[in-house]
A = this chain, B = another copy of it.
Amino acid sequence: MITFIDTTSLLQMDQRKRAMLINSIGGYKFISLIGTVDENKNTNLAIFSSLFHLGANPALIGFIMRPDSVDRHTLANILATKIYTINHINENIYKQAHQTSARYEKEISEFDATGLTPEYKNNFIAPFVKESNIQMGVVFKERIDLKINGTILIIGEITQLYYPTDCISEDGFIDIEKANTVTCSGLDSYHTTNRLARLSYAKPNEETKIITSLFVE
């Protein structure tokens, strides 16, 4: 049986239920921990779930902020220092990652509150999350205010990448499943994954084939 909901039913729905519904119908998410510092090097760490690939050359990544929420410390830090880190969340740290979404006061670092470890390397001022297996150092490029609902699109360039050496295949594909990265659906549901297949580049009138990855040893 299929349920059909239209705009009228959506508007009549309880606000929390509607938020849950629209968030969960929005598919699997790339959730990450974003690490920042303020001008006095106080650290901040927050989970974000609206990240998306924007381009490979230059290497751009975007994410959406809601300025009325706990996001505001992250936003202030990014605008002040122009840098941040994006850290994949794995099965071992997803509960701590989720906990960073609590409304901590500005003077409390979510690193301290959740027990995650700040890691500094290669002259990047913002903290990486040591427990994260895949990390990116990102330079702020552009802020676009989306007037339609007051959210903000932040665009950054990936200038540093870290990944487990045994997770890269010859063609440049990083096996994030092998690196234990998890995904999220809705506001609070965390999932590991099972690969069905990698499929070859699609061409008209040619059946797609399954790629057998060759990992670099």
A3 and B102 contact, CB distance less than 8 A: no
Q: How far is the CB of A99 from chain B (nearest CB, A)?
A: 5
Select A98's contact among B50, B157, B192, B202, beta carbons within 8 Å.
B202
Count how many chain A residues have C-beta atoms less than 8 Å from C-beta atoms of the other chain: 113
For residue A51, CB closer than 8 A to chain B, the reply is: yes
Is residue A23 within 8 Å, beta carbon to beta carbon, of the partner chain? yes
- A54 is an interface residue with CB less than 8 A from chain B: yes
Say if the beta carbon of A212 comes within 8 Å of chain B: no
Is B204 a contact partner of A104 (Cβ separation < 8 A)? yes
Residue numbers in B under 8 Å from A164 (CB-CB): 1-3
Nearest CB in chain B to that of A186: its residue: B173
B50 touches A50 (CB 8 A): no
8 Å CB contact of A177 from B1, B21, B26, B185: B185
9 new A-B contacts at CB < 8 Å, known A24-B176, A27-B181, A173-B189: A3-B168, A5-B160, A7-B157, A17-B172, A26-B51, A182-B196, A190-B197, A191-B195, A192-B193
